[in-house]
Structure formats: structure tokens, C-alpha cells
Amino acid sequence: MIELRFSPQAKKKYDILTGAQRTFIDHGLDHLKIDKLGISREMVNEELGMRILFTKKDNLVVVDKIITDAAHDRAAYPEAQQRMMDWNN
């Protein structure tokens, strides 16, 4: 089984992602765990403006950086975030 770790910067970015962004990252991490990406070093979703940069060594994958488009930043849409929290509670 492949072990997955985050760099401190990537973990901080992961914690502030919105729903669609986190879904993309989670799917990407699942692919990394089962090694579906071969020798690739990054995953890209142009529609969401996201990239996952990672390093692989044997059975360890380290997510080095998560890059997101500022237009999808959670802080830019406080009313939408509040609506989503209200719906989920």
C-alpha cells in the first residue's frame, strides 16, 4: 500500500479548499494511492484552475504543493459559504 503525506504548505492549502476543489484533490489522492499515474509528477484540472504537485519514492507519495486559482478562493464568497454551511447543518 502506498503511504500518502502532505508537506505543511500543502496541508494548510488542503484545509481551506471549497467543496468542488476538495473533491478534485480527493479523487487525485485516490489515484496516487493506487498508483494510476505512472511517472507523472503533477495533476491538473484546468476547469477549476488547480494543480497538485507531488513526489513519489517507492511506497511513499508526498504532496508538495496544491495550487489553486484565486477566483475560487473560499474567502471571496462568504455568503455562498454561509449558505452551504446552513444547508449541511
pTM of structure:
0.67
CATH number, residue 64: 3.30.2310.20
Q: Structurally, how many domains does the chain consist of? A: 1
pLDDT at 57: 83
CA pair distance 35, 38, nearest whole angstrom: 6
CA pair distance 87, 44, nearest whole angstrom: 30
**Residues 21 and 69: beta-carbon distance below 8 Å:** no
Residue 65 pLDDT level (bands cut at 50, 70, 90): very high
Question: How many helices and strands, by DSSP H and E, does the chain display?
Answer: 3, 4
Q: Output 32 or 5, whichever has higher pLDDT.
A: 5
Structural domain span for residue 50: 3-88
3-state secondary structure of 51: strand
